[in-house]
Structure 1
Amino acid sequence: MPADDLPETFHVTTAEQLRAVANLTRHRIMAVLRFEPATITQIADRVGLAKGSSSYHVRLLERAGLVTVVRTRKVRGVTERYYAMAAQSIELPDPGEGRPDVLMRNAVADLEAAPADGTRQVRMAHLRLTEEQFTQLGERLQALADEYRDLSDPSLPDASLVFALFHPATRVQAGGDAE
C-alpha cells in the first residue's frame, strides 16, 4: 500500500495500543517502517535484533493495529510478509500531569544512543509568549516538520526531529509563593 493510500492519522485509544507504542524497541521498528515496507529480516537488520525478537515485536504492533501486512511473496516455499505503518502518523493521548510522555522518552533514548561523533542539532529555548504566539509557533513547527517529511527520500539516512512546545509547571519557592 503506497503511503498516499494510508490514513492520515492513527489515534491510539486502547491500553494495548499504548503499551505497544511505549516500548523503545517497537518505537524503533515503527521508525524503520515509516517510509517503506520491510520484512522481519530487514527490520531485524535495521534495528539490530534477532529475527525472533523482531517477529515478536512486529506481531504485537500488528495486533494493536499500528502496522499491517501490505504485501506477501513466496520465497523458497515460505511466505515473506512486508509490513508497513497503518497510518502516516500516530497520535497519542495526552499523558496527563506528572506522567511521562512516551514520545519524548523514546526520542531522548534514541538521541542518547546516537553516535557521539554524529551530526546533531540539539537546542533548548525558554520563551515568553502570548497564547496567540504560542499557538502560532506550534503551527509553524508542525508545518515545517510536515514539509520535510514530504521531502523525505527512503534512500537517504534517517534523521529524527523532535519538538516539544509546552508551558512548564509553575514552580513553588521554599516560602510557598509561586515564581
Structure 2
Amino acid sequence: MADDMEEQLEISTSEQFKALGHPLRHRLLFALGQEAATISQLAATLGTAKGNVAHHLGVLREARMVRVVETRQVRGGTEQYYRRTARQLHFSGEGGRANRVVTLQAVAAELESAEGQPLLKLRNLRLTERQAEELQDRLTQLVSDLTDAGPGEARHGVVVSVYRPRQANQPS
C-alpha cells in the first residue's frame, strides 16, 4: 500500500467537527495513523462490533478524514483497507476547543485498554509565559522528531499537552 497521506489536514468544516464528536472516531483515527486496516481488524483492535466500526468509518469517510486505499477479493467478497488521509490533524477556530473533551475521552479509553503500564504524568507548576512557550516548543519538537519504526513494531500513543488552568482570583 502506497504511503500517500497528506502531512496535515485542517479541521475546519462543520462536517469534520461533527465527525469528531464521538470518541470511537478518534480511536479509529489513532489506529489508522500508521497503517491501513480492515473493518474486521479495527473491530478486533478496538474491542467493538464490526457494524459499529463500519458506521463510524462511514462518518469519517464522508468528512474526508479516512479513505479506502486498497481492496482485496476474499471468499466471494471485497475487503477494504482504510487509512487516515493525513498524518496530523490541525484544529482551527472555536470548533477545536469543543473537540478537546472528546479527544481526551478517546485518549482515556485508549489508556484504559492499553497493554502494560502506560506512562501518565500530570504536574502543575508556576511558569512564566516565556517558560511555558519554550516548554511547548520543546515538546512539539520532541514529538515531531520521532521517527516511525515501521510496520513490524508495536503502535504507541503519545499525548503531550501544556495548558494553563483557569486561574482563581488572587487576593491583593
Q: Where in structure 2 are there 5+ consecutive unaligned residues? A: none
- Would you say how many aligned residue pairs link Structure 1 and Structure 2? 171
Equivalents in 1 of 2:160, 2:72: separation in Å?
Answer: 39
Q: TM-score, with normalisation over the residues of structure 2?
A: 0.84
Q: Give 2:132's aligned residue.
A: 134
From 143, 162, 166, the equivalent of 1:169 is: 166
1:40 aligned residue = 39
Structure 1 residue identity aligned to 2:142: L
Letter matched to residue 144 of structure 1: L
Q: Sequence identity, in percent?
A: 34
Q: How does 1:92-103 map to 2 (within 5 A)?
A: 92-93=91-92, 95=94, 99=98, 101=100, 102-103=102-103
Q: Where does residue 62 of structure 2 map in the other structure? A: 63
Distance 1:27 1:142 in 2: 20
Alignment CA distance shift 1:156-1:22 (3 Å): farther
Q: Determine helix, strand or coil for the equivalent of 1:8.
A: strand
Asked if 1 retains the 8 angstrom alpha-carbon contact of 2:17 and 2:99, the reply is no
Q: Which runs of 5+ in 1 are unaligned?
A: none
**Deviation at residue 74 of structure 1 after TM alignment:** 2.1
Residue 76 of structure 1 is matched in structure 2 by: 75
In the TM superposition, residue 65 of structure 1 has moved relative to its aligned partner by 0.7
SS of match in other structure, 1:55: helix
- Structure 1 position 44, deviation (Å): 1.4
Q: 1:43 to 1:113 in 2, by over 3 A?
A: closer
Partner residue of 2:122 out of 121, 124, 127: 124
Question: 1: distance between equivalents of 2:165 and 2:78?
Answer: 51
TM-score, normalised via structure 1 length? 0.81
Find runs of 4+ consecutive structure 1 residues off by over 6 angstroms: none
Q: SS at the partner of 2:145? A: helix
Larger radius of gyration: 1
Match of 2:114 in 1: 114
Flag the structure with higher strand content.
2
Alpha-carbon separation, structure 2, partners of 1:105 and 1:171: 26
Letter in 2 for 1:120: P
Deviations 1:20-66 (A, max 9, x none): 22311111111221111111111111112222211111111101111
Q: Return the letter of the residue paired with 1:172.
A: N
Q: CA RMSD in A?
A: 2.5
Task: Report Cα offsets for 1:59-115 as digits up to 9, x if no partner.
Answer: 11101111011111222332221110000111123557x856232232233223436
**Per chain length, whose mean CA-contact separation is higher, i.e. which structure has more relative contact order (CA < 8 Å, sep 6+)?**
2
The alignment partner of 1:74 has SS state of: strand
